[in-house]
Structure 1
Amino acid sequence: MTRPFTGDTLEAELITPRVDSRRAKLAGRAAEQIVNDVVERGWPVGAVLASEADLLKRYGVSRAILREAIRLIEHQHVARMRRGTGGGLVICEPDVDAVIGPAVIYLLRVGATLDEIFDTRILLEELVAELASQRVTESDITTIRSTVERESEGTLSNFRLLHTQLAALSNNPVLELIVETFSRVSSFHFDDGARVPAGFDREVREAHRGIAEAVMANEPGVARERMRRYLRSEADFIRSQSATVQHLDPDVALGTLGDKRGEALARQIFAELINTGAVQGTFVGSEAALMTKYRASRAVVREAIRILEYHRIALTRRGPGGGLFVTEPDISGVVDTIAIYLRRHRVQAQHIAELRTGLELAVVTRAAETLKSGGSDAAAIEAALHAESQQGPTPAFGQGEEFHSILGRLTGNRALHLVHSVTLRLWWRFLSQVAADDPCAAGARPQRQSLPVIRAHQSIADALLAGDSEQAVTRMRAHMTATAPLRAH
């Protein structure tokens, strides 16, 4: 019997993949089962899910496998093991810190620059300003006024507070999370504790007041433009500082991996791979060799390996000649961690769709600019359209050949490509799992709409290849409206 597609509660469960016992490692499978049980319990922070003995019986795994799973769960900020009387697996509150680690690791591996990160931040916060100005309430206005006044009086030192408040006003937990993540990631590129000149302080206060006034007056277009101008001036100021770096410093960025023994070892191994320029296929070592090299116990080495595998930094090959090998950068770790966070925050389909619409419009604009400048090969678009016509959009997406995925790559911005890809992956997971739960749900089966989708993609591509970016954006907006999430009848 399938479950009805009713919306709020179910939607929050759909963005995380189901357990596949045929492929998943035992520890990873147990970790996913723990997350599912936490969700089923309603995520009661501070409650004990079960004792170690009860967990062993429930999941049917060995103590060693369970403890590896618990370490992964602790790494994801889902739960932690409390020892002693009344102890057990205590449910935690996942926060943005759990997301920052995977994001930093991916951006570090692909070599994303500060310029790319700032460009992505600007796009995201423009969308925040627009949505906040449409959704602001009387009580929100009181809060915003208080923040602006405290800035003017010099009693507020956190110049990001207004941005955080506006992100919350978007009422979109996906957008709010990614904005906060990129705000923090950008801080790894410069010393945000450095003294800011008095003149710049004044400019920040004036810019914030202008943004706040547009939001409170329900002027989305003005709010977007003022946010864009302010963030561009902030980016210019930060670039001008002598301590600012375009590329992440591994020693600073890798602090997000944590300080437990397994996490510390994973951080050390990853830092060595980055500093030596290790590429895909590089042999890291066997379990025994790693134990000897780092003078670590088997349990610590296995925990480190699970973390490296979780972040898709390296994967284990079994059999003769096996061991730990560097793998190509993959966003799966970022998606999985964000999915866990969003399950806790009851994400809904429209939240993902809303962010996706904003991103697709930005992506098609950037792709058009890149094509005009000759920085991208138009053949990639033709290849994506051919793959979709031959296989359908869903199989093409699974192979990374779908039209939207290709546009994300054509932007030339690795940070934007990450956000766009994560949002796409979340959306496709949602659709595929709705279809699995309720084949009759409206919009549940992407293949039902394959022909209209392929035609829409072709029309957008025609505009792009003709150099008509305005028409491409208009057609993309219409496409996003036509494929917006539908409810069951």
Structure 2
Amino acid sequence: MNPEVIAPRVDSRRAKLAGRAAEQIVADVIELGWPVGQVLGSESELLNRYGVSRAVLREAIRLVEHQRVARMRRGTGGGLVIDEPDVDAVIGPAVIYLLRVGATLDEIFDTRILLEELVAEIASQRVSEADIATIRDTLERESAGTISNFRLLHTQLAELTANPILELFVETFTRVANFHFNDAAALPEDFDREVGRAHDGIARAILTNNPGLARERMQRHLRAEADFIRRQPATVQHLDPAVGLAGTLGDKRGEALARQIFTEIVQTGAQPGTFIGSEATLMSTHQASRAVVREAIRILEYHQIALTRRGPGGGLFVTEPDISALVDIMAIYLRRRGVTTRHIGDLRTGLELAVVERAATRLRDGTHDVAAVEQALRAESEQGMELAFGHGEDFHSVLARLTDNRALQLVHGVTMRLGWQFFTQFAADDPRVAAISESLAATVGPAHQGIAEALLAGDAELAVMRMRAHMTATAPESL
């Protein structure tokens, strides 16, 4: 690939119109109750309904197909058919994103420990008598050596929270961590016994409704696991890009070629806009048929690794890793799973306290300039909270970026996006919510200013205390 060849300019107006049309399609699907298999309409019907050009509609359809909201079916009885998002279709793009932005093993475990501590706490508060037998059965199978999946208990505990956000991210980060270490031959002889002992202690704390002890034991267990993986000679902080597209649905030859191109992009450090090649060049370079090359391109486009540009100077070009696109995919999947404001509330305070604590550390050690915090306050003051959030310039989003933890930033971004979606919906449905939120907005600016002042003074404890008070004042039940 030639790093000197840069992609032709994108039609930004068409992209924005397509984005809005895609958002309306998603809203319509949710409003209909997500009836999988139902046809939303033919292309001509959709053109009339959404009032956009054919080019804009087709770009919007590409977006909703990527999000697994709907897919275009050709032929008799065809049209835009409502699809069923599944967890693999969400986790795959998440793994690709974390790999492309260089998320490290330490970032993954830092975020995983934070989330699974929350899981242990919430599970201990919500576990019922009906759950006891399931947990005990898993522990007994571990003890007897008849179970090979030592993540099963963690998955079951996440399910006990009945929180789709926690379930999704526990599964996501578990899979990513497993990519870093899957060498069963390197496990010590007493590994099974040690894991079983740790799981037994966590389970007993949960079954006796002891959230503090459950959190402490979960943290100790996962820190021990992280330390063990780091000590292995083959352990690396950054994933091998070859694992990124493993298990992608499609023709195996096309998948293999997509993986090869993706590996080259990562290993050469190809920047967004770098030209990969035309269809004919890729066929010649890789000695592949047109069908295989097109399947590889389809996979690369689906995961937003590369994008085809038509016309003179066109071809396949590297795209920018886009957290907003991934956040949209995850938020849509979670809406389908029935996420509520209560689920967001389960995570909101813990996430924000973790973010401000880590941001304080980065500011204190000089990793980031304090100007970013000051700029966020100005953006909120000049643009308003909603516009600042839409541009990724709001106070909370900026603090998340200052953590330098791409995994944590992803979880934070998804919960923030869901929160804004619910707020917009509630405000549209009930004028009283909008009125209350306007009065509440008057206190948000000063709260952010107070947290910022503590951060800029290097007082992490005061910043955390003020963030906790801010979270309490702006909890959903206060609206």
TM-score category by the smaller chain? 0.7 to 0.9
Find the aligned partners of 2:382 and 2:38 in 1 and give their Cα distance: 48
Shift of 1:325: 3.6
Match of 1:203 in 2: 194
Alpha-carbon displacement from aligned partner over 1:215-258 (angstroms, at most 9, x marks no partner): 11211111111111100000111122233221111111222543
Q: Work out which of the residue numbers 419, 430, 440 in structure 2 matches 1:449.
A: 440
**Matches of residues 344-363 of structure 1 in structure 2 within 5 Å?**
344-363=336-355
Instruction: Using the TM superposition, name which of 197-206 and 87-96 deviates more.
Output: 87-96
Q: Work out which of the residue numbers 20, 38, 58 in structure 2 matches 1:49.
A: 38
Q: Work out which of the residue numbers 382, 385, 391 in structure 1 matches 2:383.
A: 391
SS at match of 2:190: helix
Find the aligned partners of 2:400 and 2:313 in 1 and give their Cα distance: 37
Q: Structure 2 vs 1, CA of residues 208 and 397 (structure 1 numbering), >3 Å: closer, same or farther?
A: same
Find the aligned partners of 1:119 and 1:376 in 2 and give their Cα distance: 20
Report which structure shows greater RCO (CA 8 Å, sep ≥6).
1
Confirm or deny that 1:59 pairs with 2:46.
Answer: yes
Match of 2:461 in 1: 470
Q: Is the 8 A contact 2:245 2:255 kept in 1?
A: no
Confirm or deny that 1:241 pairs with 2:236.
Answer: no
Shift of 1:103: 0.9
| TM-score relative to the length of structure 1 | 0.81
Calculate the aligned-residue CA RMSD, in Å.
3.9
Find the aligned partners of 2:350 and 2:247 in 1 and give their Cα distance: 29
Shift of 1:137: 1.2
**Matches of residues 172-187 of structure 1 in structure 2 within 5 Å?**
172-187=163-178
Aligned residues: 462
Find the aligned partners of 1:371 and 1:64 in 2 and give their Cα distance: 46
Alpha-carbon displacement from aligned partner over 1:58-77 (angstroms, at most 9, x marks no partner): 43599999999888767655
Shift of 1:280: 2.4
**Matches of residues 282-321 of structure 1 in structure 2 within 5 Å?**
282-285=274-277, 297=290, 301=294, 308=300, 311-315=303-307, 321=313
Find the aligned partners of 1:103 and 1:409 in 2 and give their Cα distance: 17
Shift of 1:470: 2.3
Q: Is the 8 A contact 1:286 1:323 kept in 2?
A: yes
Q: Is the 8 A contact 2:248 2:255 kept in 1?
A: yes
Alpha-carbon displacement from aligned partner over 1:346-398 (angstroms, at most 9, x marks no partner): 11122123322221111111112223333332222122222222322222222
Q: Is the 8 A contact 1:392 1:450 kept in 2?
A: no
Match of 1:98 in 2: 89
Shift of 1:126: 0.7
Structure 2, gaps ≥5 residues long: 1-11
Shift of 1:329: 2.0
**Matches of residues 339-378 of structure 1 in structure 2 within 5 Å?**
339-378=331-370
Shift of 1:181: 0.8
Q: Work out which of the residue numbers 112, 134, 139 in structure 1 matches 2:130.
A: 139
Find the aligned partners of 1:280 and 1:22 in 2 and give their Cα distance: 20
| TM-score relative to the length of structure 2 | 0.82
Match of 1:380 in 2: 372
Q: Structure 2 vs 1, CA of residues 229 and 79 (structure 1 numbering), >3 Å: closer, same or farther?
A: same
Shift of 1:424: 2.0
Q: Structure 2 vs 1, CA of residues 145 and 280 (structure 1 numbering), >3 Å: closer, same or farther?
A: same
SS at match of 2:246: helix
Q: Work out which of the residue numbers 127, 130, 135 in structure 1 matches 2:121.
A: 130
Q: Structure 2 vs 1, CA of residues 418 and 50 (structure 1 numbering), >3 Å: closer, same or farther?
A: closer
